[in-house]
Structure 1
Amino acid sequence: MADELEPKRARGTGWKSVYDTLRSEILALTLAPGQLLDETTLAERFDMSRSPVREALIRLAGEELVVTLSNRSTIVAPIEVASFPKYVEALDIAQRMNTRLAAALRTEADLKVIAKRQKEFEAAVRSENHLAMSEANKRFHMAIAEAGKNPYLASFYERLLGQGQRMLHLHFEYLERTHEGYLLTDEHNLMLEAIRDRNVERADALAHAHTRQFQENFINFMRENYMTDVSLNPLSAAE
């Protein structure tokens, strides 16, 4: 009878707790890029069989947060500096297009959601929790994308934002340590104003500047911490 009163994990949902925990640890860099993720060790850690662990790793692989090697080992996805120029080029295009569309098509309800997400980001900044900041930043930009009313562009943008969260974590760390630049809040507010004013061209320019700031600070972080010379083809100013 006592056993019947104990809460039971819903069948097929065990992977979710593993996924949520590992995703947070990967994005916060608690699990370092390249770190081995052994199924047996993880199963022991989470006190469950290997099947839900494997399911969690499959889902993380779908988000490109983990990589399965040729020997079938799984590691935390490396942060590929060499591919950063292509990544930031795609991010710039997606960010500009979604922000332009939001400025052209937003409703009053959309503005309220964007403003709410910006307040949440500001609260995350005050908490000094980098993972909370990157998650809140993503929600802010996705609120803009949803205001643009193009689910294909929004989906592409969401994937890029997710892939960039670990780099954004380093970006925040660099800014807080050096006090060079600022933590995006001013640019977020300016973007919101441009969207509110339906100023498409200003929204575009601000979105582009936003990407450039992220790029420049990430490059500076990598030069300071890992290499003496980094040439990553910085984005040109918006026309």
Structure 2
Amino acid sequence: MGELPPVRASERITDAVYESLRQAILSGTLPPGTKLSVPNLALRLDVSRSPVREAVVRLTWDRLAVDEPRRGAVVARIDPQDLAELYEVREALEGVATRLAVQRGDSGLVPKLEQLLRQHIQAVGLDDVERHTKLDIQFHTAIRVASGNQHVIRQLDEIQAQVRLAMVTTAVTSGPSYAVEDHQRILEGIKSGDPDRAERAAREHIARLKVALRSSSAADRP
């Protein structure tokens, strides 16, 4: 079993333990089905059991962990149907976030997205899948933060975490080459100042990912 990310002393202990376990789940260090034993995790993280217990409860709230009969909390498994439903919600929320970001008019958003897009193009050119994934997340995160709507931000953060969990355990990817093309269209929509155009580009991007998801799921069936 891989090493867990270290607990940062500068953070509140429960938050630090939660973030360490969250990153371990999303990176695949704690794969789906892994039992989240409080005594074992407390020993591995060199902390008391109380913050670990609280962190595991939070992971359950975030749907990154589930309670199973006679086993307790284990790392969640995201099946194809769950993932498809997540993308249905994500399509609507990404559209709303992009529309709000345009309407809010954060002057720093376009330069930030342009920089991320340049880095993304380079990562795809180098076939750096890990870098692609990080930049893809950063692009969408920048837009949702610029929306200024805390409810939209929180819900999309939770959905993104579950999508990442699915990505480390399935053959589904976020399509590096066409992700860059779609991000370019989203950026152009934002730069145009037209909320309708920007929202449409964002929704079409997620819809395209849904199609890729269905194709991948069908190919994986025996």
Bin the TM-score by the shorter chain: 0.7 to 0.9
Shift of 1:211: 0.8
Show CA shifts across 1:124-172 (max 9, x none).
Answer: 6558353x5444433321221233333333332222222222234568x
CA 30–190 in structure 1, closer or farther in 2 if over 3 Å, else same:
same
Alignment of 1:169-184 (within 5 A): 169=168, 174=172, 182=177, 184=179
Which letter maps to 1:128?
D
> Structure 1 length as normaliser, TM-score?
0.72
Partners in 2 of 1:11 and 1:185 — Cα distance? 35
Which letter maps to 2:187?
L
Structure number with bigger Rg:
1
Total equivalences in the alignment: 214
Show CA shifts across 1:21-66 (max 9, x none).
Answer: 3322311233222222222222332233322322332232232211
Aligned-residue Cα RMSD (Å) equals 3.2
- Provide the secondary structure at the position in 1 that maps to 2:108: helix
The answer to whether residue 18 in structure 2 is matched with residue 19 in structure 1 is yes
Shift of 1:12: 5.3
The answer to whether the Cα contact below 8 Å between 1:175 and 1:183 also exists between their aligned partners in 2 is no
The answer to whether residue 184 in structure 2 is matched with residue 189 in structure 1 is yes
Partners in 1 of 2:19 and 2:11 — Cα distance? 17
The answer to whether the Cα contact below 8 Å between 2:77 and 2:166 also exists between their aligned partners in 1 is no
The answer to whether the Cα contact below 8 Å between 2:14 and 2:54 also exists between their aligned partners in 1 is no
The answer to whether the Cα contact below 8 Å between 1:170 and 1:218 also exists between their aligned partners in 2 is no
CA 217–25 in structure 1, closer or farther in 2 if over 3 Å, else same:
farther
Which letter maps to 1:101?
L
What's 1:163 paired with? 162
Partners in 1 of 2:164 and 2:123 — Cα distance? 15
Which letter maps to 1:54?
R
Shift of 1:196: 0.7
Unaligned runs of 5+ in 1: 1-8, 229-239
Show CA shifts across 1:88-125 (max 9, x none).
Answer: 21111101111122233323222223334445555665
Unaligned runs of 5+ in 2: 1-8
- Provide the secondary structure at the position in 1 that maps to 2:215: helix
Alignment of 1:94-173 (within 5 A): 94-119=93-118, 121-122=120-121, 126=126, 128=128, 130=130, 133-169=132-168
The answer to whether residue 218 in structure 2 is matched with residue 223 in structure 1 is yes
Shift of 1:190: 1.8
Runs of 4+ deviating beyond 4 Å: 9-12, 119-127, 168-171, 173-176
- Provide the secondary structure at the position in 1 that maps to 2:177: coil
Alignment of 1:37-56 (within 5 A): 37-56=36-55
CA 208–169 in structure 1, closer or farther in 2 if over 3 Å, else same:
farther
